[in-house]
């Protein structure tokens, strides 16, 4: 059992509630209670289930609160104990994938048309291989690191599918966050222009990318969506980017909302962090379905010391990674300057532009060129710690004038979806004078379609300052320069996937603040979550 110090009040309360509903006598109830508390804790840590020994299994079955068919609050299956809801999510997701794969497809793929998009090459063309399989298969996962051309490949796939179709296809493009949606939309627009096809084919490929919640028709504050098994999405093809960020419940609801004849294409980096919530969906799917997984292995823009460093971290070659980091290369190195002074100096460029009255887009580009990514939210070297001290230092240097929460130059991140304002968790904006409104402070955002929206600060209650953000929040983003800040001592959140994700946000240069002990131990650790999705899919296929 997990040390009880880790358990929350919610874990204790839930365990007490389930225990009171059980038919166990007081003596057995005392042993049953900590099992349920551990299950609640495990679920909050991203696990779908926990594994029980023989005695614990007997106790759970005797409680009257569990079965293996999903008719009780708990499900005990193959030594694994689930909350009924998460067991159902796994079952629904596995069955829907099996149904999609079983759907017949009969598309002729003439070599001449394939070669039109992918000229014959002596070397292995990973993008071409992925495209051929995606055209033939009803379900495809395309995975690969930064710069391997996932978006370029999927745009060519959509063009090929339209070439082979007798009528226009209804295509949906989506991503987990507004930030990821905006990046995908920009990439698709750029890739479409270079397609070797007619304008008619190009026009048939949509450019608008929306969030998954918007695609499914979120109905806040309820957990339900407009589109579901009874009211499926009307699309022929659905493409989802940044799938590593999607948790088990959301992926289950997405698949449940698809028609059985919908073609599904998932894009993502299987080596990145799993979702903050339950499950490791992308990793589980690639493990369970290798024949439906196409990995792009050649990077076209991610190279040099950053790529070498990322590969060493991803492959858990910790000594090689530390040696690379210690070489003091211009592209990858340890930060030798004072942390707060360095970050503060990096803010000068965009703050100067704001003070000069520059337009929002220029200010935002300057701000977004550099980003601090932290492993933790609280404590020394955390998001909260850095955001506070950088703001204080900027005040001391008179780079910002702050008499309250809002001031010109304040960068903020939305931390809770607000469909009314069309702002979503992870969206970043800048507070600055509105030259069209007498210099009144407004908060400006670039929307996924490239338009700019502005809001009065008082309307933005669910936001926080973002001189620094967590690595989790940075998923789906890229920055010219990244400063990766690790805590001074080990923390349960530190894993090689966390570091790899932070590294791969950097396009041109990367600096780290860490010590050797913490860095090496972090690289040795992997994300490990308990769940049965992989085996469940394998049994159904």
CB 81 within 8 A of CB 34: no
**13 CB-near residues (< 8 Å, 6+ apart):** none
Strands 463-465 and 237-240, bridge-based pairing: unpaired
Indicate the DSSP class of residue 301. S
Beta bridge partners of 52: none
Beta bridge partners of 263: 237
In the chain, the N- to C-terminal Cα span, in Å, equals 34
**Angle of CA points 407, 467, 491, to nearest 5°:** 140
- 10 Å Cβ neighbour count for 221? 5
Separation in Å, CA 440 to CA 182, 412, 453? 27, 17, 15
What counts of helices (H) and strands (E) characterise the chain?
A: 22, 20
Separation in Å, CA 123 to CA 127, 131, 160, 171? 11, 16, 22, 32
User: Is 148 known to sit in a ligand binding site?
Assistant: yes
- 10 Å Cβ neighbour count for 210? 18
User: Is 146 known to sit in a ligand binding site?
Assistant: yes
SS3 487: coil
User: Is 409 known to sit in a ligand binding site?
Assistant: no
- 10 Å Cβ neighbour count for 222? 7
User: Is 150 known to sit in a ligand binding site?
Assistant: yes
Alpha carbon of residue 290 to chain centroid: 21
The first and second tokens of residue 93, run together, are 């997701």
Beta-strand ranges (E) seen in 36-120 are 49-51, 66-67, 74-77, 80-83
User: Is 145 known to sit in a ligand binding site?
Assistant: yes
User: Is 177 known to sit in a ligand binding site?
Assistant: no
Q: Residue 66: which of 27, 58, 278 has the closest Cα?
A: 58
Q: Which residues are annotated as a binding site for ATP?
A: 144-151
Q: Which residues are annotated as a binding site?
A: 144-151
């Amino acid at each position: 059992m997990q040390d009880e110090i880790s358990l929350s009040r919610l874990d204790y309360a839930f365990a007490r509630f389930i225990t009171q509903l059980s038919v166990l006598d007081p003596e057995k109830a005392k042993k049953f209670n900590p099992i349920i508390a551990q299950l609640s804790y495990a679920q909050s840590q991203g696990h779908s289930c926990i594994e029980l020994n023989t005695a614990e299994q007997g106790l759970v079955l005797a409680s009257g609160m569990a079965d293996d068919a999903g008719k009780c609050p708990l499900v005990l299956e193959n030594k694994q104990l689930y909350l009924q809801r998460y067991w159902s999510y796994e079952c629904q997701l596995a069955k829907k994938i099996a149904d999609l794969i079983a759907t017949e497809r009969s598309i002729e793929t003439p070599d001449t048309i394939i070669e039109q998009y992918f000229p014959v090459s002596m070397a292995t063309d990973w993008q071409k291989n992925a495209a051929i399989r995606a055209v033939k298969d009803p379900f495809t996962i395309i995975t690969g690191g930064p710069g391997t051309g996932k978006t370029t490949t999927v745009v060519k796939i959509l063009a090929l599918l339209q070439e082979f179709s007798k009528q226009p296809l209804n295509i949906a493009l989506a991503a987990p966050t507004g930030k990821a949606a905006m990046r995908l939309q920009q990439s698709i627009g750029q890739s479409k222009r270079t397609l070797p096809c007619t304008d008619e084919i190009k026009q048939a490929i949509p450019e608008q990318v929306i969030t998954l919640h918007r695609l499914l028709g979120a109905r806040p504050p309820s957990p339900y969506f407009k589109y579901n098994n009874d009211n499926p999405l009307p699309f022929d093809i659905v493409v989802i980017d940044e799938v590593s960020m999607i948790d088990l419940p959301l992926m289950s609801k997405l698949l449940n909302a698809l028609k059985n004849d919908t073609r599904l294409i998932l894009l993502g980096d299987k080596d990145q962090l799993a979702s903050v919530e339950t499950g490791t969906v992308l990793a589980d799917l690639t493990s369970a379905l290798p024949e439906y997984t196409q990995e792009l292995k050649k990077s076209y823009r991610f190279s040099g010391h950053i790529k070498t460093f990322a590969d060493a971290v991803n492959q858990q070659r910790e000594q090689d990674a530390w040696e690379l980091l210690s070489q003091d290369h211009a592209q990858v190195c340890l930060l030798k300057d004072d942390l707060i002074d360095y970050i503060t100096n990096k803010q000068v460029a965009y703050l100067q532009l704001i003070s000069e009255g520059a337009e929002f887009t220029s200010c935002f580009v300057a701000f977004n060129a550099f980003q601090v990514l932290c492993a933790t939210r609280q404590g020394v070297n955390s998001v909260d710690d850095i955001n506070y001290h950088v703001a204080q230092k900027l005040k001391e240097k008179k780079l910002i004038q702050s008499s309250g929460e809002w001031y010109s130059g304040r960068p903020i991140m939305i931390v809770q979806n607000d469909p009314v304002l069309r702002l979503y968790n992870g969206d970043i904006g800048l507070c600055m004078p509105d030259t069209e409104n007498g210099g009144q402070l407004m908060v400006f955002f670039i929307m996924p379609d490239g338009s700019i929206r502005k809001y009065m600060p008082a309307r933005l209650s669910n936001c926080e300052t973002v001189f620094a953000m967590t690595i989790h929040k940075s998923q789906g983003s890229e920055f010219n320069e990244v400063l990766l800040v690790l805590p001074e001592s080990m923390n349960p959140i530190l894993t090689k996937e966390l570091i790899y994700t932070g590294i791969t946000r950097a396009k041109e240069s990367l600096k780290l603040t860490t010590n050797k002990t913490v860095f090496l131990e972090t690289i040795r650790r992997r994300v490990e979550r308990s769940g049965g999705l992989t085996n469940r899919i394998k049994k159904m296929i």
